[in-house]
Structure 1
Amino acid sequence: MPKRKTTTPLSGVVIGFDFGLRRIGVAIGQTITQTATPETIVNSKDGKPDWTHISRLFKAWQPVAIVVGLPMRLDGSEQALTQPARKFGQRLSGRYHCPIYYMEEQLSSIAAESRQLKQTHIDDHAAQIILENWLEAHTL
């Protein structure tokens, strides 16, 4: 059965994140074209993101929404990084005053690896996949 699309009353740039304790992948998407591209990888030390880097991204792109991938097990249950990813999303929303959306993600890093076999870090490509899936599920 195909996933049901939901309507999102937003138009513009959406920023997507693939949260990790050492690296956070970032992708930029557009609601009108429903496309996303990998943007950058933000370093995180001891689970603390480089907020200066993230602030520069928000200033440059001025997104209308934030999408954070929620790492889930294949059976749909939460795993160790699910709650930290949720907390990261809440902090983003609070700091940058944008609505936050979560997208369950399973295997986005593996899918990203298959797209970019020669790249050392694939976190930004995983963020792209998360954001593409969210854009596909949300229409104007």
Structure 2
Amino acid sequence: MKEPSAVHGRILALDFGTRRIGLAVSDPLGITAQGLQTLLRKNKRTDLAALRSVIEQNEIREIVVGLPLRLSGADSSSTEKAREFAAWLEKEFALPVHMWDERFTSVEANRVLRESEMSIKKRGEAVDRLSAVLILQAFLERRGIDREEPLSS
């Protein structure tokens, strides 16, 4: 997978899960992240069609997939699945795919949703969407910092 770089166009972030995939998309300038409807997974073919639709409708040029690591930074049971999913996306869509450390995104998303007093029933899909937004916003902020750093001679 690739490191953040300067490619223009919208970026799609995915909070990968076995039952749901949280989705977020950047604005065309790559500054802000907005959540999209959470994808309820059915099978590979249906997931592919849904993702293709999102990619085409939003003119996606890059994809960011959350990498579920343990707090220590070690791989978790879901890490390899996320990497395989990212490789599959890269192959299927021929777009750059970046992995992004998603530690704490679900915790932060749940905290925000609890504070908003959203019902527990509605939180499930919302937490995946908000996690994708947090993943993408962190990615965009890192990219912005990288752009601002002077080149070393």
TM-score between both structures, scaled by the size of structure 1:
0.87
Matches within 5 A, 1:117-132: 117=114, 118=118, 119-121=122-124, 122-132=127-137
8 Å CA contact 1:16, 1:27 repeated in 2: yes
> Structure 1 unaligned runs (5+)?
1-5
The alignment partner of 1:103 has SS state of strand
RMSD: 2.0
AA partner of residue 90 (structure 1): A
AA partner of residue 24 (structure 1): I
> Structure 2 unaligned runs (5+)?
148-153
Matches within 5 A, 1:27-42: 27-30=24-27, 32-42=29-39
**C-alpha distance in 1 between matches for 2:48 and 2:54:** 10
The alignment partner of 2:90 has SS state of helix
**C-alpha distance in 2 between matches for 1:7 and 1:19:** 19
Instruction: State the percentage of identical aligned residues.
Output: 27
1:127 is displaced (CA, Å) by 0.5
Counting strand residues as a fraction of each chain, which structure ranks higher? 1
TM-score between both structures, scaled by the size of structure 2:
0.80
Which residue number corresponds to residue 100 of structure 1? 97
**C-alpha distance in 2 between matches for 1:113 and 1:84:** 23
Say which one has the larger Rg: 2
Counting helix residues as a fraction of each chain, which structure ranks higher? 2
4+ residue runs of structure 1 moved beyond 6 angstroms?
Answer: 46-49
**C-alpha distance in 1 between matches for 2:43 and 2:30:** 36
